[in-house]
Amino acid sequence: MSNRRLAPIFVSHGSPMTALEPGAAGAFLASLGARIDRAAQRPRAIVAISAHTLTREPVLLAAARQPTVHDFYGFPEALYRLNYDCAGAPELAQRAAALIRGAGLPVQVATEGGLDHGIWSPLRFAYPQADIPVLPLGFPPDWSPRRLFALGVALAPLADEGVLVMGSGSITHNLRLVFGAAPPALDAPEIAPCAEFRQWFADRGAASDWSALLDYRAQAPHAAAMHPTDEHLLPYYVAAGAGGSNAPALRLHASVTYGCLGMDAYAFGDAAARLSN
């Protein structure tokens, strides 16, 4: 294993308000860039898979510039004034497309661009200078965890090419619990189903139990309650696959907002342990 291999990561981006109210997860993300740089190398580019960039089949957004997309409404005006415009990675898009097609999977390369809040919100903390090119990879939300894991496996060679693969979603995501009749406070105590689901993921990941993780909907406790739809968990599987087909998942951060919205972060593969310090 190269000492410069970049472990793929999954981060929970939480509410758009995380950008203004960072809390524990924001503090972790603010340390993440330096941790990655110290453990391996500063990424020359980032392939970002977000729960908010969904497509009919995988699409690499290969624009030369990636503008900030404020893909939400009804939030404070200050949030819409935040920007994270950065360079794109058109050449990397061709390399990634070749890897994906080589694995027998479909992919399109588009000249469009744009970073949704699942991408720019965590990167604003991790790499605030916006000086690393970003290549968004849209994914189909109807693909199974197993097929998305295979998509990640196809991208695994990028870890030795100075490219960080980052999945962004939420380890738990039931907005009906957040915006229900009696919305919980930001610092509300964690509800038991959320804690049990998060711990199951951490335990199964540490054990490299991918047969269970890929079948999480049937095997994880409270899966339907924590993910009424699973698009916010699916980026986890792309990043996990990029770490290697039998690699463990190492939880780097664990916290909760609103008592039910998990903010956990993971690293994958044999280089993941370097990010634990």
The pLDDT of residue 250 is 97
CA distance 229 to 226: 9
Q: What's the predicted TM-score (pTM) here? A: 0.97
Q: Which helix (H) or strand (E) holds 265?
A: strand 265-268
The pLDDT of residue 256 is 97
DSSP string, 26-75: HHHHHHHHHHHHHHT---SEEEEEETT-B-SS-EEE--SEE-B-----SS
Q: What is the pLDDT of residues 112-161, one digit of tens each?
A: 999 999 999 999 999 999 999 999 999 999 999 999 999 999 999 999 99
* 264 has a pLDDT exceeding 70: yes
- Domain assignment present for residue 213? The answer is yes
Question: Which CATH number is 220's domain given?
Answer: 3.40.830.10
The pLDDT of residue 193 is 98
The pLDDT of residue 1 is 65
- Domain assignment present for residue 1? The answer is no
Domain count within the chain: 1
* 181 has a pLDDT exceeding 80: no
Residue 249, domain extent: 9-276
* 245 has a pLDDT exceeding 80: no
- Domain assignment present for residue 67? The answer is yes
* 20 has a pLDDT exceeding 90: yes
3-class state of residue 139 by DSSP: strand
- Domain assignment present for residue 50? The answer is yes
- Domain assignment present for residue 84? The answer is yes
- Domain assignment present for residue 65? The answer is yes
The pLDDT of residue 85 is 96
3-class state of residue 269 by DSSP: coil
Q: Which helix (H) or strand (E) holds 134?
A: strand 134-138
In the block, which residue shows the tokens 């463990």? 248
Give the chain's mean pLDDT: 96
Q: What is the pLDDT of residues 54-95, one digit of tens each?
A: 999 999 999 999 999 999 988 999 999 999 999 999 999 999
Average pLDDT over residues 153-176: 97
CA distance 167 to 49: 5
* 244 has a pLDDT exceeding 90: no
